[in-house]
Amino acid sequence: MAIVDVTGIGKSYRLSAGHKETVLQDVSLNIESGSVVGLLGPNGAGKTTLIKILSGLLRPDTGGGTILGYDLLRDHALIRSRISLVSPTSDVGTDNNLTVRQNLQFWAPVYGLIGERAKSRIEELLTKVNLRDKADAWPMHLSAGQRQRLALARSLLAENPLIFLDEPTNKLDFDGVRSVRELVQDLNRNHGVTILLTTHVMEEAEELCDAIALLREGKLLAYMKTRDLTQSLGLTRTIRVAFRRPGSAEVDAQRVGLQSDLARMPAVQAARVSEDSSTMVSAELQTLDIRATTPVLLDCLRRRNWNLISMQSEMVTLHDVFLSTIKPAEDMERGI
């Protein structure tokens, strides 16, 4: 079932002197229940505007459709009460005069949670967003990532089946990014929540999302399964591995055997093996899909009993994606 089903969404803002800025143009999006979709685009692409429209906060100039089966234009109040939205400004809803737990206790009745149910849900969420040891802390003593997770916990009080996350990992440090990404995966895999998130980090979209919608200057350039998108872009990336093998007998035969094994791995375009010493070997692989290649590569080394010393891979950036969609953009638009 499509949980989000909108077509022809358009929005423009009237600027001074009668000028109009078109922010969204003819955007159609269909999101299956239970999936994680990434809305990917540079700053100013229209991501936040689209999220606001889909959450029933902003009325589109053109187009319409349904969210959770409710009419986007008619039932916007119902939609607002059935979805959760975490935006970069969600933190504003945090009261600095209440502790972390008290903030959740304050908001629980707003989402219809009272008594024992509220209590157990709050404790469950504190654990889920990894704020249990900060439950009695004041919000101003939290890091940016912890405040972001508090805002997330607040929106999760509602237990809605559809969540919009606008730049959930923006401005977070490495641990903050990791824990928010894990939370997204947990909500989706273990609680069946459908998630639409915006990001301008390709790596994040690749890691979390089943499908990616590419938005640029208000237009949807592509909307497809993550794997199809990365493969259709034809962007090869390099994986470099170094490992140590026991003994040095039949060195050359091993090298030739390994090279042909690597070249046959999923999504691999080319492979080169070089001997750094009689026991140290390094290899360089060009792959169209790091996630498809990596587990097979690790498994191959494990089966040969070779010890991994280091592994590095180059990520595709949003910049690479947009550069490579400039030429086929017209074809992609037709294909949507």
Ligand X SMILES: Nc1ncnc2c1ncn2[C@@H]1O[C@H](COP(=O)(O)OP(=O)(O)O)[C@@H](O)[C@H]1O
Contacting Mg ion (CB under 5 A), which of 27, 31, 46, 48? 48
- CB nearer ligand X, residue 83 or residue 122: 83
* Residue 49 near ligand X by CB under 6 A: yes
Cα 269 to Cα 30, 35, 48, 284, 285, distances in angstroms: 33, 30, 37, 11, 8
- CB nearer ligand X, residue 195 or residue 268: 195
* Residue 199 near Mg ion by CB under 5 A: no
Range 17-46, binding ligand X (CB under 6 A): 21, 23, 41, 43-46
Query: 211 φ, ψ to 5°?
Result: -140, 155
Range 28-47, binding Mg ion (CB under 5 A): 47
Q: How far is the CB of 217 from ligand X (least distance, A)?
A: 9
Token match 């690749």: residue?
206
Per-residue binding letters, 105-144, with Mg ion (x by CB under 5 A): ----------------------------------------
Per-residue binding letters, 107-136, with ligand X (x by CB under 6 A): ------------------------------
- CB nearer ligand X, residue 48 or residue 194: 48
Q: How far is the CB of 41 from ligand X (least distance, A)?
A: 5
Taking Cα atoms as reference points, which of 320, 269, 268 lies closest to residue 292? 268
- CB nearer ligand X, residue 49 or residue 148: 49
Query: Using CB distances below 5 to 8 A depending on partner kind, what does residue 23 bind out of ligand X, Mg ion, none?
Result: ligand X
Size of the site for ligand X (CB under 6 A): 11
Find out whether 145 and 175 touch, Cβ atoms under 8 Å.
yes
Q: How far is the CB of 59 from ligand X (least distance, A)?
A: 12
* Residue 163 near ligand X by CB under 6 A: no
Site residues for Mg ion per CB under 5 A? 47-48
Site residues for ligand X per CB under 6 A? 13, 21, 23, 41, 43-49
